[in-house]
Amino acid sequence: MEIEEIETKIMEQVGEVVNFQEREGTLKDRVVNHSWSNPNGNEHFFDVIDLIHFPDWYEEEGKEVIRFGYYVYRDGNLRWGRMALTESQEVLVTLFEKASARPWFRKFLKAILVSILIS
């Protein structure tokens, strides 16, 4: 399967139900990026950033969370990775603000801003 076909398959899940901490939500949007392939070309990694809406989140009337995760395509099988970071936008903003005190993370954020501003 070609890289573009795998990315399309990953994107087809937008609109589907997702489960997180015994709650059901809806995958509202997703960004996918082919990040790495092994030298043999039989193993591919795809990073994703998801927007997920949970209609009933901790007694609030709906909550959108952002999930950073990945897929592995190996031997004809596409699998969700074993690790993911899923947090509200507020928590992620706080985390990024704290991390921005570190020079390496500040450099990362500047690279993103420059890329966005020149595109």
Q: How far apart are CA 104 and CA 70, in angstroms?
A: 23
- pTM of the shown model: 0.89
Packing angle, helices 103-118 and 89-99, rounded to 10: 120
Interval 69-91: pLDDT, tens: 999 999 899 999 989 999 989 99
In a domain, 53, yes or no: yes
Q: How many structural domains compose the chain? A: 1
In a domain, 52, yes or no: yes
In a domain, 40, yes or no: yes
Is residue 101 scored above 90 in pLDDT?
yes
